[in-house]
Amino acid sequence: MEAYLLTNVIISNIGEYEGQEVTLRGWVYNKRSSGKIQFILIRDGTGIIQGVVFKGDVTPETFALADSLTQESSIVATGKVREDKRAPGGYELSIGDLQLVHRALDYPIAPKEHGVDFLMSHRHLWLRSSQQHAILRVRAEIINACRDYLDERGFTLIDAPILTPAACEGTTTLFETDYFGDKAYLSQSGQLYMEAAAMAFGRVYCFGPTFRAEKSKTRRHLMEFWMIEPEMAFADLDEDMRVQEEFVSYVVQRVLSKRQQELEMLQRDTTRLKKVEPPFPRISYDEAIAILRKNGVEIEWGGDFGAPDETILAEQFEKPVFVHRYPTQSKAFYMKPDPERPEVALCADLLAPEGYGEIIGGGQRMDDLEMLEKKIVEHNLPKEAYEWYLDLRRYGSVPHAGFGMGIERTVAWICGLDHVRETIPFARMLYRIYP
RNA sequence: UCCCCGAUAGCUCAACGGUAGAGCGGGCGGCUGUUAACCGCUAGGUUGUAGGUUCGAAUCCUGCUCGGGGAGCCA
């Protein structure tokens, strides 16, 4: 077999080779035959093209091979690229020569409807289907867009550790692991480390997996998910929200312009996505409570919002909406209380439209040493573990703010999916860690 | 942890107290333009599991296991 070269022809730009003879390497996506003619849908990861084998055009051996091909068998096909309106994709390959690389027997995923359990158990093969391809390409585009936006604005990528000595927020359950006889935990947020990095680099972000050992079993939860967490020195809550709305708008518009084909494949109605541009509406927690009560929700001041509450709030607006200044008591220890009203914190959540819920949580951080020490005691956190964090308030403390955006929820929203499990290549869910 | 729903052929489902079926996928055959192609034939089942009720259970009841949706918590 000839050497695999990266310069080889790929299906996504097959149009450039019209009229030429090319060699494609890929897998059989599906096959239809009509006696003396075989239609082989070939996919190579970049796209799908229909290959046509006429009995009269090839050797009897080649035709017999084409006839015997099974779904997902790997092949090398050589032939002429031809424009043809009847073909899906607009181009066809008139196959003259065909080689079998490997014959796949009894590929489990048939071209038909399947159940969630079956597909998730065959995730390693499900990734080959067109829809999953489209979703993961949108995910890749979102991640690229996030990084481009931040990189172009003076942010430095400073990744946070995944193995950590203690809870960042000390509230949710952590995955515990043995660290040579000591306990270590899988990170649930890189934020505290980003605060240290922001004092060193000004504007920073991290992008990596985070882990929550909560026994959440909903369409919005994964045990392992990816979060992008920017942090900015000399920034307050207002600036934080301005960056967020610009950031989210940039990401959405970028996907709309570069991944239109994928959104079409997913049958995503993009009319509401097109409206995602700054500024986003801002409502206070107090206003949110009033809206909920007006909609018949019985809710006390001080509590957090549930998923149905978030949907009601988001439905009031066309664009994503900020809910700011939540009660300090319900928020993490590092949130800075509003100096004009200490019972609320200078924080904001961004709720996506169409019922997708919270995609960003963020806010201004506590920059005063004494108040932070007090909060750590109030939250029953071990002060020794946070000495390094307190140092940031001892040596040149400044107002600073940041946020964390969940990639999977953002992908689900932009793709219009009803569950986050398809937005990550291999979802880690409650009671499901295979494959 | 709690609430609701489900488990029948490889897959998606039907049969709802009286002999377990269909479509897709597999195998064999037919067809020179198919679009999840079509047509014919064929193989494929201890109905998740353990009990119970009944002359008789896939079907009704109970436990268990596994899965799905949701709550809480969060991104």
| CB proximity A36–strand B (7 Å threshold) | yes
A55 and A193 housed in the same domain: no
Nearest nt (C1') from A111 Cα: B36
| CB proximity A51–strand B (7 Å threshold) | no
What pLDDT was estimated at residue A283?
A: 95
| Residue A151 counted as domain residue | yes
What pLDDT was estimated at residue A416?
A: 92
Q: Which band of pLDDT confidence, cut at 50, 70 and 90, is reported for residue A170?
A: low
A396: three-class secondary structure by DSSP: coil
A133 and A54 housed in the same domain: no
The CATH number of residue A236's host domain is 3.30.930.10
A73 and A141 housed in the same domain: no
What pLDDT was estimated at residue A7?
A: 54
Q: Which band of pLDDT confidence, cut at 50, 70 and 90, is reported for residue A271?
A: very high
Both tokens of A30, joined, read 């599906």
What pLDDT was estimated at residue A306?
A: 85
Nearest nt (C1') from A410 Cα: B75
pLDDT at residue A171 tops 60: no
Q: Which band of pLDDT confidence, cut at 50, 70 and 90, is reported for residue A1?
A: very low
pLDDT in tens, A89-129: 789 999 999 999 998 888 888 877 788 888 988 899 999 98
| Interatomic CA–C1' length for residue A112 and nucleotide B21, angstroms | 20
How many domains is chain A partitioned into structurally? 2
The CATH number of residue A15's host domain is 2.40.50.140
Question: How far is A127 from A44, CA to CA, in rounded Å?
Answer: 13
pLDDT at residue A237 tops 60: yes
| CB proximity A351–strand B (7 Å threshold) | no
| Interatomic CA–C1' length for residue A283 and nucleotide B48, angstroms | 50
A85 and A225 housed in the same domain: no
Nucleotides of B under 7 A from a protein CB: 1-2, 10-13, 23-27, 30-38, 66-75
Q: Which of A63-67, A218-222, A296-300 is least confident? A: A296-300
| Residue A218 counted as domain residue | yes
Q: Residue A50's Cα: distance from chain center in Å?
A: 31
| CB proximity A433–strand B (7 Å threshold) | no
What integer best gives the mean pLDDT of chain A?
A: 90
Both tokens of A112, joined, read 């038909």
Q: Which band of pLDDT confidence, cut at 50, 70 and 90, is reported for residue A397?
A: very high
| Residue A189 counted as domain residue | yes
Please, what is the Cα angle at A20 between A17 and A21, to 5 degrees? Answer: 115
A146 and A55 housed in the same domain: no
| CB proximity A374–strand B (7 Å threshold) | no
| CB proximity A50–strand B (7 Å threshold) | yes
Count CB neighbours of A12 within 10 A. 14
| CB proximity A85–strand B (7 Å threshold) | no
pLDDT in tens, A408-432: 999 999 999 989 999 999 999 887 8
Strand B near-CB residues (< 7 Å), A 239-298: none
- Which residues are within 8 A (CB) of A137 and not within 5 positions of it... i.e. 6 or more apart? A259, A262
| Residue A115 counted as domain residue | no
Strand B near-CB residues (< 7 Å), A 327-346: 330
What pLDDT was estimated at residue A431?
A: 79
What pLDDT was estimated at residue A169?
A: 52
pLDDT at residue A333 tops 70: yes
> In degrees to the nearest 10, what's the CA dihedral of A115, A119, A120, A121?
110
A81 and A219 housed in the same domain: no
A179 and A226 housed in the same domain: yes
| Interatomic CA–C1' length for residue A112 and nucleotide B58, angstroms | 25
Helix boundaries (H) for A105-259: 116-121, 123-126, 130-151, 191-201, 237-258
Give the residue numbers spanning the domain of A276. 123-422
pLDDT at residue A161 tops 50: yes
